[in-house]
A = this chain, B = another copy of it.
Amino acid sequence: MTDTPSCSHCAPPCCSLDVSGAEQERLVMMFKALGNPIRFEILKFLVTHPGCITGDIVDTLPLAQATVSQHLKVLREAGWISGITEGPARCYCLNAENIAWFREQIVQIMG
């Protein structure tokens, strides 16, 4: 690999992408989780229906309950949402703290 760029058609960097280690892993995980149209829709639904239960989400999607439960798990483990047990059901909300963290990271590394 050469140290000098092979061409000069590129503008100076528009962003730093200054992140690494565990933070980068976490960021990639969040990117991956939202890189799916179903999961993006679920997140959108939770904005207008905070505190809804799994069944409510299942009813809005053309998917089996087991599949939706898996998607919710991915979103939970990535930190986009959090679920609180409420009797036999599970109440889902956006994870405001992590969403804010993600936004700040994007602003910083792509700003």
A residues sitting closer than 8 Å to B (CB atoms) are 1-2, 5-17, 19, 24-25, 27-29, 31-37, 40, 43-44, 47-53, 55-56, 59-60, 84, 86, 89, 91-94, 96, 99-100, 102-103, 106-107, 110-111
Number of copies of this protein chain within its complex: 2
Distance of A78 from chain B, by nearest CB (Å):
9
Interchain CB contact under 8 A, B53 and A13: no
The contact of A33 among B12, B33, B35, B84, by CB within 8 Å, is: B35
**A50-B13, A51-B6 known; A59-B1 Cβ under 8 A:** yes
Q: Which residues of B sit under 8 angstroms from A35, Cβ to Cβ? A: 28-29, 31-35
CB nearest to A97 among chain B residues:
B14
CB nearest to A14 among chain B residues:
B96
